[in-house]
Amino acid sequence: MLAAGTMLAALVGGSAVIAQSGDAAPEARYVMDAGTIAGMMGQGDQHELTLRLGSRLAPTGAPRADHFMPAGAKLGASVPLETPTRETGELPDNFQRPKGRLLLYWGCGAKAGPGQPVVIDFTKLAKGAMPPGLFSTRVPADPGPTLANSRTYGHWPNGQKSKSISGQSSLIGQHRIAGSYSPEIAFGLDQDFMAGLRTRSSANADGSLGLSWQGLGNATGYHAWMMGGKDMGQNGGDMVWWSSSATQEFGGGLWSWLAPATVTRLIGQKVVMPPSQTSCTVPAEVKQAAGGMLMGFLYAYGPEANFAFPERPRDPKIAWKPKWTARVRYRSMATFMPGMPSMSDIMSGRGGEEAGEQQPQEAPKKCKPKGLGGMLKKAAGVGC
């Protein structure tokens, strides 16, 4: 999924600069992003898993790689990491540049703070101009290996295998990655997918919206955001975007998997809510400006596991040049719509196993999102 900053850069004709791997980098870098998506309307929690292998080596023969999974993953013996063709990054032919305005609100509280909303009129932006207040140097996106910064690259899910991670899958156990363009990578995981977030939203008498959730024991911090509007900027109307950050902060890294150290820093800057916080009030102005058409998202950032070969020496004076590195990050997220039954209400008095058979993730489908709203939904993982 696109990070929000990269998505909006493409929207207005900008470009992102990605550092290239050099000779000092490991021969291979591997990243696993493991997520839990809370079910809605009686559905059970789902899991998401993204695997990415980047190497500075050329393949021996055709590029191929496989991730050999523990049995609990329920994905068979292995899943193939497909090497995609390089894309231009151009917008789809039928992409509709937004014609309306984007209204930015932020902060937890019954009323919007001073200087809000910041209004971005897309009709007044020159082609290639960047909307102000969207990019952030404090929340940099950390994509890890990508097609652009690797000599050879492979990822999963892809079109080679339709089977997807399910709500009953487990990551605990031994993992091995082997292929034609990287050294063999092996590590064991004792941390499974995070639990699902249980959220509740309610309308307050003053017009604001109350948002609360059941805290997760291994969460390092929380971030919430909402978007809405009658036509989501497609027909000249206003689109509303609210962030729980105490400052005007819409950094793309907030939409991704964040390292615990990064989350700790962002908590100190009041960009991310601390793990002890389990409620936030959405200002009344947000609901009023959106005309009641709102969708919300809550992220719980989780732990991280790192592996390397050879391991980092304990003595910092000893030079360290690993042959490969592997990183596993965890996240849990929930979507909610004010006025709709929350997962907490539906599941009241019942455990997650009683919510019915959990549906596995569908294989990713190529699609062309329409307008700014469609691209925001795609970036958040809830739309085309």
At 149-187, the pLDDT tens digits run: 999 999 999 987 667 899 999 999 999 999 999 999 999
> Would you state the pLDDT for residue 220?
98
> Would you state the pLDDT for residue 11?
43
Q: Are 197 and 300 in contact (CB under 8 A)?
A: yes
> Would you state the pLDDT for residue 20?
40
> Would you state the pLDDT for residue 95?
55
In single-letter form, the type of residue at position 302 comes to G
What string of pLDDT tens digits covers the 384 residues of the chain? Answer: 233 333 443 443 333 333 444 456 899 999 999 999 997 655 689 999 999 999 999 999 999 999 999 999 999 999 999 999 876 555 555 555 667 888 999 999 999 999 999 998 887 776 656 666 676 777 877 879 999 999 999 999 998 766 789 999 999 999 999 999 999 999 999 999 999 999 999 999 999 999 999 999 999 999 999 999 876 555 667 889 999 999 998 877 898 999 999 999 999 999 999 999 999 999 999 999 998 788 999 999 999 999 999 998 889 899 989 999 999 999 999 998 886 555 445 544 443 333 333 333 444 445 555 555 554 544 444 455
This prediction has a pTM of: 0.82
> Would you state the pLDDT for residue 192?
98
| Cα separation, 146 vs 26, whole angstroms | 14
> Would you state the pLDDT for residue 162?
65
Phi first, then psi: give them for residue 102, nearest 5 degrees.
-115, 120
> Would you state the pLDDT for residue 161?
66
| Cα separation, 331 vs 46, whole angstroms | 12
> Would you state the pLDDT for residue 156?
95
